[in-house]
Each structure stands twice: as structure tokens, then as C-alpha cells.
Chains A and B, each alone.
Chain A
Amino acid sequence: MNPFEAKYTSEALELLADLEKLMLLLETHPDDASLIQQVFRNLHTLKGNSAMMGFRTITDFTHHLEAIYELVRAGKLKISSAIINITLASLDHLSGLLNGDKQIGDSNKHLHDILTNDIVTILDYSNEGQAVSKGEQLTIVTDDATIYKRKPAIPGIRVPVERLDTMMSLVTELITLQAKLNVLTSEHPQPDLVAAAESLEKISTRIRDNAFSMCMVPVENMVTPFHRMVRDLAAELHKEIDFVTEGTETELDKNIMEGLQDPLMHLLRNSIDHGIEEPALRQQTGKPRHGRIVLKAYCAGAHVYLEIQDDGKGMNIEKIRRTAIKNGLIDESDVISDKELQQLVFVPGFSTADQITETSGRGVGMDVVKRRIADIKGRVSIHSTEHEGTTVIIQLPITLSIIDGLLVKVNGADYVIPLSAVDICHEVSSVQLMNGFAQVMVIDKETIPFINLQEELVGVSAARQSHEIVIVHYGEKKIGLLVDIIAGKFQAVLKPLGRYFNHLDIVSGATILGDGNIALVLDTNKVIAQSLNKKSKAI
């Protein structure tokens, strides 16, 4: 079994286990709309994954099953014990298929036909406008032999986040203690003590690295399987697509990444199926034959961002407005900006696709995406221009993320400037011209506005001489930040400042330095925005 298939199988089995739980719940709460929605979603995902892997039997079978819940969801069919029994039997059948060779063989052909027949019967009943009440007529198979033993799939151990968090804070504590011990040994250099302290340091450094690596995974790990998926799906839909990934070295907390996999997959499928046009059509509209999908990951401020960008046909604002009015989401007379309208695609059941395809289009996609991303405390937004393409931006919290930063001193206090924002560093002595009143300086024949961080953060100016300048990006522009001194590069584990400092956006968190001191991590974008704001008010 290749790794993709193995992954697919273990995921599918998880979905089935989930579904089984849901079905049992549904039995006691047959009218719970959110349960039905979840069942439908799980089936939809299972179908989509199977289609992607090319398992026709499973795809078709799931498609039938999903159709039942589509009717239930639309209120055309009521959940009855017959439906639940058939679904449960079907789930067992599916799990049998998944554990076998995913094909219909002699042993399960009979079962497969009976179940398919039953499902079709239910669908036919409802199409005639009758509720299924005569469940007895359906042959329900609950033969013990057909219930397969699910084999445990444990590729690794899942650890609750709290335990990891506790470990991480204990490790930081250990490092802090280690730094203290080093100071003590240098004061009292006894050979035995020094040797013991050194060995301890080696071990604690390894523990730290290990603990960090347990929680952090580069985005690349998640993205690699997508290449194959994009390629296969594009080929299936007769589209030509270049899939480009950028910034995949950005590290993300493992738990966050796990929750991201499915939403990203959905978004990519959307881009391929609905975004990118057929090659011929693209050429007609003057676009290159090859569509382009870019997956970009980067760290900015207190967040990690993931962007999926395609240069496809984009969304038709008018169509969204009409669908929204039809679905009763907005009123005809409502004045809503295009940007807001676009976000409506995240509402459950919202789909403007004219045709339902196997990969997407029933309008379950985007609301699942939004829900899943909200589960990992992220936010998602969509920006689209018709004929030019669509960009979906996912904003994720950084909580456990490590950022590379530049450790600087401002008025004697330690601050960390995220390295992602830094362009270049200069010494004040290399500045050719500096105008304190206009706050502009000239470096390398470039005129760059600057902000004195001492003034900005402490409120007093020139208490200490500033020696160095950090040039940072501010949108398209560059802005210099005056600091006392640059102490060096530092890998910062961001810790939140807590509720007392919620109002404070110029500091995105704090980090603990090796010697136990605290350094505040600056959000340079906010610092600059605040400084500009102040200035414009003063004028």
C-alpha cells in the first residue's frame, strides 16, 4: 500500500468511526439538524477523498448514501429507523471494503447489491413524495460475519495539548535554571561542578530542542501530498495547472496543522474545480494556458498566514448577491460591500455552482472550511476579482510558534523584532543624512523615514544614544527603527501577555531570554501605524 493510500485508509476509517457515533446519536435525536449536517459532511468528505484516490466502488456507494442525507437535510425525507439501520450496515460494509482491497469481490458482492438496492429504494420512495414508513420491506443486513474487525491504525501517539503545554513551560523553566547554574559555576569554578553543569547543559539543550520539535512542523510536511492531489485532479478535469508553494519552511504547531489539512484540501479542490478554467477558455481570454495556484505561508505580526491564490475566473459578485437573496441571507434592498458579499460563501449550504460535481459544489465546502479553521482558533477570508482570480487567506494564531527575531535594546530594555519584518540593519554612523525634525534619513542614497523606538515606547527621547537602525518593511514601504543596540538573533518562544494587556496591540507577546529576563516581542506594523497615527493627529 503506498503512503497516500495508507493515509487515505486511516482517515476514511476515522470518518467511519465518527459517522457511527453520529448515527447512534441520531437515533435518539432524529430531528437534530446539526447532526444531520455533520453526517452529510463526513460522507461528503469520504466521497471526495475516495474520488481523489480513484476508488470508484466506494465513491459511488458513498454518493448514494450521501444522497439520502442530502434529502434529509433539505427536509424532503425524515430520519427513520430504517434509514439508520441501512446507514449503519453500509458503514460496516464500507469499513470492510476499506480494510480489504477496496473492490467488490465474490464475498461481498451480494451484500453490496442488497445495500445499494435498499438505498435506491429509499431514494425512490422520497422522490415519489412518500415518507419511508414501511421500513420492514427493506432487507436489512446485520449479519455478524459482515461486521469487520477494525484494525487499529496507530502511526503515532496523540498527546493532549495541555500535556504538551505543561512540558513546554517546564522545559523553559529548565533552560532558565540552566542559565542560572552556568552563572553560578563561573563564579565558583570547581572542576567537578563545572563538568556536571556542562553535561547537564548538553542534556537540557537537547530536551529543549526535542520538546520544541515535538510541537512544531514545517508547513512543507502538510503541503507535499497536495502536489499529487492537484496533479491528479487537474488531469481528471482536463485542466493544466502549475501548483507553486512558497514559504513552506514556516513552522506551525502540529495541532494547528492537523486541523488545517482538510480545509486546505477543500480550498485547493475548489480552486481546481471552480477557479481555474479549461485551457482553451483561458487562451481565449488572453490568459496563459497553464493555470497557477500558489500556496503561500508566512509569519506576520502575531499570526501565521496561509494564502491560496489562483488566477482563475474568480467569483461573480452579482451571482453571489442573487443566491444570497434567494437563500434569504440578505434583503434585496440591503447595501452590502462586495467584500462582505464574498464572505457569504462561508455560510452553510451556500453554493453558486450550477452543477454538482463529484469533487465539490454542494455548498458544504466553505462552511466546513470556516468551521474547521475556527476550531483551531484561526480566521478565514476570501478576496476575489472576477476573471482575475481568488485568494483565500487563513490567519492562524501563533501561540506555540517559535519566531526568529532580532534582539534589540531600547532604553536598556530588551525587545524582539520579528526577523520576517526586517530588511537590513545599519549603524547610525553610516547614515549620510539624518533630519530629526522631519524624521527622515538617507542611507545608501535612499531616503527612508525613521521612528525613534525610545520615543515611541518609553516616551522620552535621547535618554540614551541610539547606535543602530533596523530597517523594516511596512507594507510596500521601508521604515527605519532607531534602537540603542542590536544584541543579535534570537529564537523566541512567544508567550501571550494575558488579559491585562489585551488592549495593547503594538506588543504581540513576550518571550523569556536564556538568562530568565523577559523581552517583549514587537509587532512592527502596529508600532509604525501607531506612530504615524500620532503624528497625523499632532498636525
Chain B
Amino acid sequence: MNLMQQADSYLTFTLDAALFAVNVTRVLEILEIKPIVKVPMSPSFMRGVINLRGNILPVIDARIKFGMTDTPFTIDSCIIVMGIGAGKDPLLVGVLVDSVREVIELREADIQPSTGIGAFCNSELIVGMGNTGDNFAMILEPDKVFAADELMLLAAAS
């Protein structure tokens, strides 16, 4: 029982060959690929906007954001809707990923803090590595990776 309490649920998804994970409390829903409207004059990782039941939802292409090559959509491609920022009204953003895998339980002991992994890993983006048994999932902190203000600063600088 004690062990269960310390376990958190994570949603795992893939980009290229790599496995990523995000805390399920940040995930609102998973959508199939639908027509994405490109917004002019926006950075390349801003894929555009979609119609989420009458609301406009911005979509970020995680592949481009993480510096991977752009590939055509497959049947597995999907959009994970995440809430960014705390508070009553989180900012909603869709994140385009190659495929969604499963929800796993990770206990604290299963997670290696990113600082322990070494210099190759950008600790700003990845908060830890989760041991899923046969693989490692990079755990993302959506607030850091997809925060609107920082992304826009980046876009302005480039």
C-alpha cells in the first residue's frame, strides 16, 4: 500500500525511436490527427491550430521542437492535449507525437533524476529517466518544455 502511494502514473509516447513520458495529471486527452491550419509567420515547431470542439488549440510539433527530422504522419500519429501552468485555467496546448504507448506506474525509486545522468541530457527539458523494465522513458516537464513565453522568446531570437 505504501508503495502504491508513492507511485505516479505516466503516459508514455514515442518520438523517432525514443520513448518519452509525461505525468498523466498534465494530460487532458489524446486526439487523432485532424486538419491542422498553419499560422503564418510562426516558428516551424508551431505546427498550427486545430478546432477542438469549437475552441482554437495551438499544436506544437514535438519532433521539430526537439530537433528531430520532420516525417509524414502515420496511422499512429496523434495529438496529446496538455495543460501548461498551474492554477484554475491552465493554458491548453496540443503536442504532436509519433505514437502513444501506454500508462505506466513509476515509483520514485524507478526515476533517475536527470542531474545524475550526465551532461548529454538537457536538464531544462528532461526532469528524469523512468525505468520501465525493458526501456528508459525520458520524463518531460510540460511547463518547461512547452511554456508559451519561453517558446516565443526563442522564436523571436531565431
Contacts and interface: CB of A to CB of B under 8 A. Distances in A.
Interface of A: 169-170, 172-173, 176, 413-414, 456-458, 495-504, 506-507, 510, 512, 516-520
Interface stretch (B20-28, B37-45, B74-82): B37-45
B155 A512 contact: no
Contacts of B56: 495-498, 510, 512, 518
A398 B140 CA distance: 37
Interface residues of B, number: 25
Contact of B37 (A496, A503, A518): A518
B46 interface: yes
Contacts of B41: 457, 504, 506
A33 B60 CA distance: 49
Residue of A170, A413, A519 with most chain B CB atoms under a 10 A cut-off: A413
A173 B39 contact: no
Among the interface residues A497, A498, A500, A512, which one has the most CB atoms of the partner chain B within 10 A?
Answer: A500
A499 B91 contact: yes
Majority secondary structure, A binding face: mixed
Contact of A413 (B37, B93, B149): B37
A190 B58 CA distance: 38
A510 B35 CA distance: 15
A498 B51 contact: no
B49 A518 contact: yes
12 contacts: A169-B54, A176-B53, A456-B40, A457-B41, A495-B56, A497-B39, A497-B56, A498-B58, A506-B41, A512-B56, A516-B51, A520-B37
A501 B40 contact: no
Given A503-B152, A503-B156, A518-B51, A497 B58 contact: yes
A183 to B, nearest CB: 14
A146 B149 CA distance: 59
A499 B152 CA distance: 9
A413 B40 CA distance: 11
B31 interface: no
Contacts of B60: 500
Nearest to B84: A499
Contacts of A498: 56, 58, 91, 148
Nearest to A507: B39
Contact of A520 (B39, B50, B93): B39
Contacts of B93: 500
Nearest to B153: A503
B151 interface: yes
Contacts of A504: 39-42
Contacts of A458: 40
Contact of B42 (A456, A501, A510, A512): A501
B31 to A, nearest CB: 13
Given A499-B91, A500-B46, A517-B35, A176 B58 contact: no
Contacts of B46: 500-501
A164 to B, nearest CB: 14
User: Majority SS of interface residues in chain B?
Assistant: mixed
A353 B2 CA distance: 75
A413 B58 CA distance: 17
Given A501-B39, A518-B37, A520-B37, A173 B151 contact: no
Given A501-B42, A506-B40, A518-B49, A172 B35 contact: no
Contact of B51 (A170, A456, A503, A512): A512
A69 to B, nearest CB: 38
Interface of B: 35, 37-42, 46, 49-51, 53-56, 58, 60, 91, 93, 148-149, 151-152, 155-156
A206 B50 CA distance: 26
A518 B40 CA distance: 14
Given A497-B58, A504-B39, 19 more contacts: A176-B51, A176-B53, A414-B37, A457-B41, A496-B56, A497-B39, A497-B56, A499-B91, A500-B42, A500-B58, A500-B93, A500-B151, A501-B39, A501-B46, A502-B152, A504-B42, A512-B54, A517-B35, A518-B35
B53 to A, nearest CB: 5
B51 A501 contact: no
A413 B39 CA distance: 10
Nearest to A493: B54
B152 A500 contact: yes
A170 B148 contact: no
A500 B51 contact: no
Given A497-B56, A500-B148, A500-B151, A507 B40 contact: yes
A26 to B, nearest CB: 32
A518 B35 CA distance: 9
A512 B155 CA distance: 27
Nearest to A170: B54
Given A457-B40, A497-B56, A510-B56, A518 B50 contact: yes
Nearest to A498: B58
A389 to B, nearest CB: 39
Nearest to A510: B56
A173 B55 CA distance: 9
A52 B19 CA distance: 72
A172 B39 CA distance: 21
A318 B55 CA distance: 51
Nearest to B58: A500
Contacts of A516: 51
Nearest to A175: B54
B87 to A, nearest CB: 13
B155 A503 contact: yes
A518 B38 CA distance: 10
B54 A501 contact: no
Most chain-A CB neighbours within 10 Å: which of B37, B39, B40, B55? B40
A504 B151 CA distance: 13
Interface centre among B41, B42, B50, B54 (most CB of A within 10 A): B54
Contacts of B55: 169, 495
A490 B148 CA distance: 31
Contacts of A457: 40-41
A517 to B, nearest CB: 6
A414 B51 CA distance: 14
